[in-house]
Amino acid sequence: MKRIKIIFLLFAMSISAVLITSCMNPEENDIKSSIMAPEPNNIMLEGTWKVIDVKQNADNMETNTDHITENLYISKKLFKFGNKSILSPNFTSKYINTNKFFNINYPGINPNNFTSNDNVEIVTISESEGISQEIIKLEENKILLIADGYLYFLERMSNTVDESIYLKYKEENIKTNIEAYNGKIGLSLSIINRAEEDASSYTDYSSYYVYYDNYKKENATLEAYKEPGIFLPNKNDFNVITFDEIWDGENYEGKLFKTLVTDDNIAASNKILDSDVPFELTFVSDKYISYSSSDVIIPVTSIIE
């Protein structure tokens, strides 16, 4: 009899522990279960959206900007609305209690004025640089976006974004990033050259160096150099590493030599390209390079010996 009582008591304690554990953090469980990731190849809210209504945010009655009238574009390649653009954006989504979301993030906004849903889906679009935008999904084809003191209500016009839109804003984004950076940008490509001569082989190195200095805004240019040796970047300067074989009386011994590179000792004769518009090196060899320089309309490719 005692054994039966002990078994029953242990069983009752186990049931109680399960019930207590399941009831301790219901809100935490709800939050965890509400977080979602987009399905593969399913871009959340993808499409072209038009602004159908704009209201001023009661939390921010003073604003120095006019409200946005342009379309909103969302795709796996682009997020663009007003002056905010993200290339190759990331998407996350969660369901959350409507009143709780607005009470915490926008206490001056009453969600009952535009939705009767107890819970809403919040889609966050972001990039690695820290730019992000939250979008509240009200219906399948209706969303709310809050930015710069305004509430933007948008309606989906189509489920796609035209490729020409992406190309346009991609070009603008590249120019904006270059103009915003107040400093020097450089990229070095080093090439090893091996050759045989008179039954012996030798090795040497050369580097192509693409250089842009945006500190001089009015006179900023892009330059490309070809230098013997290997460019070795440090925090504040560049060095060139060269290779030579030294005869020690019995054998040739290969040695590396380091030379500090400054603006003064980069030989002007080694400059192979000087341009005031962005360009891309598309081919390099011992005797030739090719580059492409593109504007909105016509891409131009050149070959220089």
pLDDT tens for the chain, 305 residues long, are 444 444 444 444 444 444 444 444 444 444 444 445 445 445 779 999 999 999 987 655 444 457 888 999 999 999 999 888 888 899 999 999 999 999 998 988 999 999 999 999 999 998 876 778 999 999 999 999 998 889 999 999 999 999 999 988 887 765 555 544 555 666 677 777 777 777 667 677 777 777 666 555 555 566 777 777 777 766 566 677 776 777 777 776 667 677 776 655 555 556 766 666 666 666 666 566 666 665 433 344 444 44
In sequence order, which ranges of the chain are alpha helices (DSSP H)?
2-24, 26-34, 98-105, 163-180
Asked which of 139, 166, 193 is the last residue of a domain, the reply is 166
User: Strands across the sheet with 200-213, in order?
Assistant: 184-197, 200-213, 222-228, 271-275
Q: For CA atoms 145, 177, 300, 219, give the dihedral sign.
A: positive
Pick from 225, 228, 211, 218: which is nearest to 273 by CA? 225
Count other Cβ atoms within 10 Å, centred on residue 130.
6
Same domain, 159 and 185: no
Residue 90, CA distances (Å) to 147, 168, 198, 224, 249 in order: 19, 20, 58, 34, 63
Same domain, 137 and 219: no
Same domain, 186 and 141: no
Same domain, 188 and 263: yes
Asked which of 97, 132, 166 is the last residue of a domain, the reply is 166
258: domain range? Answer: 181-304
Task: Assess if residue 199 is contained within a domain.
Answer: yes
Q: Find tokens 């009386």 and name the residue.
A: 249
Confidence (pLDDT) at 31:
45
Rounded to two decimals, what is the model's pTM? 0.49
Same domain, 104 and 208: no
How many domains would you assign to the chain?
2
Return d(Cα 71, Cα 59) in angstroms, integer.
24
Given phi > 0 = left and psi -120 to 50 = alpha, else beta, which region is 65? beta
Same domain, 161 and 259: no
Count other Cβ atoms within 10 Å, centred on residue 168.
14
Task: Assess if residue 28 is contained within a domain.
Answer: no
Task: Assess if residue 95 is contained within a domain.
Answer: yes
Same domain, 41 and 162: yes
Q: Find tokens 């450089």 and name the residue.
A: 186
Return d(Cα 105, Cα 146) in angstroms, integer.
11
Whether the CB-CB separation of 232 and 238 falls below 8 Å is answered with yes
Task: Assess if residue 244 is contained within a domain.
Answer: yes
Per-residue burial over 105-114, b = 16 or more CB atoms within 10 Å of its CB, e = otherwise: ebeebebeee
Confidence (pLDDT) at 40:
43
Whether the CB-CB separation of 76 and 43 falls below 8 Å is answered with yes
Asked which of 166, 192, 218 is the last residue of a domain, the reply is 166
Query: Cβ contacts of residue 199 below 8 Å, gap of 6+?
Result: none
Return d(Cα 78, Cα 100) in angstroms, integer.
30
Confidence (pLDDT) at 210:
72
Same domain, 80 and 195: no
The distance in angstroms from the start CA to the end CA of the chain is 101
